[in-house]
DNA sequence: CGAAATCCATTAGCAAGCTAACAATCGTGC
DNA sequence: GCACGATTGTTAGCTTGCTAATGGATTTCG
């Protein structure tokens, strides 16, 4: 859309692409992406969870999660184990090769770079405003 | 990634999905999407422009634009005309069937709904902060 | 003028989101 | 106990973004 007062939506969409691109500069070579790193971290904090649980934590749909998990498994960073007590579910675990701390550090670096020259109180306001917009969006979805 | 102080990046990524979903609720039935509406509006303001020009205005790559333009052409909303003076370029035009005002109105509605309950000065701060973050990202890309 | 460089659009292929539809498994309830 | 419904994961297919590579047309430069 063309420029309104100030293209808020355009900026948000642009930042989404920039966040991914900035992060992936550092992890591309390892076969990782922003989404895969996010999944890796959530598995780490929820060892043994099912795919449905992970998808809920990540707020994505299960088919989207499946492909990312396939990729992590192919990279040897995560594994599916069948559950004896429920033939439908898989329990998902990190392998020993997975290390999530560097990924969190990369993400923090990108966030710091993007926040350069912005007053902390303005950043806090922005966090609050965007969280409220997300709530509003969530509420709309229910309708 | 898990929750840091406050997951700013997560919120931005989420809002991108919410913006698209909210907008597409209203235009899906006409074969439109947020990206296609954006392209339609830019064509309207740049009648006869080449695909490379449109891509630059939209800040997307030409292959991405090509597919969206193909879709608009299939819907009968835009057309490519060969240029006599340059055999490489196409001049892109809206057809008579294209109407962009309702699309701008839809976008404004979504923005208003998302902004509900947010103080105007906080919204202004957010716009400024996000614009700065986009600048920072842009600067990083050049490096 | 002709060769080299550049530009334009396209093709091909990857990743991340989504929805719809399905098979298999589990749980409930009659 | 068995049929029905709900849950789990998967497959298939769509859109939007990207990069890399290609063919054709133009521009530039020697």
Domain ranges of chain B: 8-141
CA dist A75 and A95 (Å) reads: 10
pLDDT band at residue B1 under the 50/70/90 scheme: low
In the prediction, which pLDDT does B6 show? 53
- Looking at the complex, report in whole angstroms how far the Cα of residue B4 sits from the nearest Cα belonging to chain A: 9
Residue A141 is predicted with a pLDDT of 85
Instruction: Say whether the CB atom of B57 is under 7 angstroms from strand C.
Output: no
CB A9 within 8 Å of CB B109: no
The A 29-88 residues near strand C by Cβ under 7 Å are 33-36, 59-61, 63-64, 67-68, 71, 85-88
* pLDDT 10s digits, B71-81: 999 999 999 99
Q: B10-22 pLDDT, tens per residue? A: 999 999 999 999 9
| Residue B12 contacts residue A15 (beta carbons within 8 Å) | yes
Contact A140, B15 (CB under 8 A): no
Q: What is the pLDDT of residue B141?
A: 85
pTM comes to: 0.93
The ipTM value here is: 0.93
Report the 10 Å Cβ neighbour count for B79: 16
Distance CA(A34)–CA(A137), nearest Å, equals 23
Q: Give backbone dihedrals phi and psi of B78, rounded to 5 degrees, phi first.
A: -145, 160
Q: Is the pLDDT of residue A60 over 90?
A: yes
Contacts of A60 (CB under 8 A, 6+ apart): none
**Alpha-carbon distance B76 to A14, whole Å?**
28
| Nearest chain B alpha carbon to A18 | B137
Taking residue A129's Cβ as centre, other Cβ atoms within 10 Å add up to 22
pLDDT at A70: 98
Neighbours of B118 (CB within 10 A): 16
DSSP one-letter code for A30: G
Topology given in CATH for the domain delimited by B8-141: Arc Repressor Mutant, subunit A (1.10.10)
Tens of pLDDT, residue by residue over B20-63, are 999 999 999 999 999 999 999 999 999 999 999 999 999 999 99
- Does residue A1 surpass a pLDDT of 60? no
Q: Which residues pair with A62 in a beta bridge?
A: none
CB contact under 8 A, B116 and A127: no
Q: If you average pLDDT over residues A37-61, what whole number do you get?
A: 98
Instruction: Give CA–CA dist B101/B143, Å, rounded.
Output: 39
For the cut 70, the answer to whether the pLDDT of residue B4 exceeds it is no
Mean pLDDT taken over chain B: 95
Confidence class for position A75, pLDDT limits 50, 70, 90: very high
Cβ contact B133–A125 (<8 Å): no
B5: pLDDT strictly greater than 70: no
Q: For position B142, what pLDDT does the model report? A: 79
Question: Protein B130 CA to nucleic acid C15 C1', in Å?
Answer: 25
């Amino acid at each position: 859309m063309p420029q309104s007062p100030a293209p808020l939506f355009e900026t948000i969409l642009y930042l989404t692409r920039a966040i991914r691109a900035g992060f992936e500069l550092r992890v591309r070579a390892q076969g990782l992406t922003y989404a895969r790193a996010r999944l890796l971290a959530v598995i780490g904090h929820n060892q043994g969870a099912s795919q449905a649980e992970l998808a809920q934590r990540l707020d994505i749909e299960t088919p989207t999660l499946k492909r990312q998990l396939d990729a992590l498994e192919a990279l040897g960073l995560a594994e599916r184990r069948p559950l004896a007590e429920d033939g439908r579910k898989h329990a998902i675990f990190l392998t020993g090769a997975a290390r999530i701390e560097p990924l969190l550090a990369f993400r923090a670096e990108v966030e710091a770079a993007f926040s350069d020259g912005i007053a902390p109180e303005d950043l806090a306001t922005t966090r609050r405003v965007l969280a409220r917009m997300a709530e509003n969006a969530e509420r709309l979805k229910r309708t």
